[in-house]
Copies of this chain bind each other. A is one copy, B any other.
């Protein structure tokens, strides 16, 4: 069966995202260095984020709340109140960052446009993802945009049903094995992994994937060439 729908992940597949979180974590840890070594603050922050995930979901606002909670915990509420303001500023700067497209992205979307239905499937905060899409200038390439609170097999199943195609006609491209690749393979779809140099611990997968509908390529242009041959 030929591919009808190409679905792209957004963060760290179309544009830079994770490095901004790493940068923010560094800034956050440096605010707390009178209380705790940086690597421990970052570890505590991660623990708080994971604990809060069921309540806050993915995205910058939840990250901001988790930073504030972490700061209170690690300083035993002894930090100055001005630190809260600095933490909020870190988050607000993230929300206002311009969008940095990854190399080749626009050319690839342009070249696939018309031959396939192109879809965006991204996890995270609704308003923030919409804003990034708008800033990216890529909006018009997408036939459908799906902003998801999670990327589980059931979430993809809903999307594929909604797009009215068979799983074998669907290919997902993304940088996260956990969110973009494994759930789609499980459903019978195709998946192409385009690794990004930084991956959030929570998204890491520590086994090797071998699957007849799975491929890994170095960049998005090579992914597009592969799809043409499918």
Chain A residues proximal to chain B, CB less than 8 Å: 55-57, 61-62, 64-65, 68-69, 72, 77-82, 84-85, 88, 91-92, 95-96, 125-128, 130, 147-149
Contacts and interface: CB of A to CB of B under 8 A. Distances in A.
Given A55-B95, A126-B126, 13 more contacts: A55-B92, A56-B127, A57-B125, A61-B62, A65-B65, A65-B88, A72-B85, A80-B81, A81-B84, A84-B84, A125-B125, A126-B148, A130-B149
A81 B72 contact: yes
A149 to B, nearest CB: 4
A69 B84 CA distance: 9
Contacts of A88: 65, 68-69
B84 A68 contact: yes
8 contacts: A56-B95, A57-B127, A61-B62, A68-B84, A68-B88, A72-B84, A126-B148, A130-B149
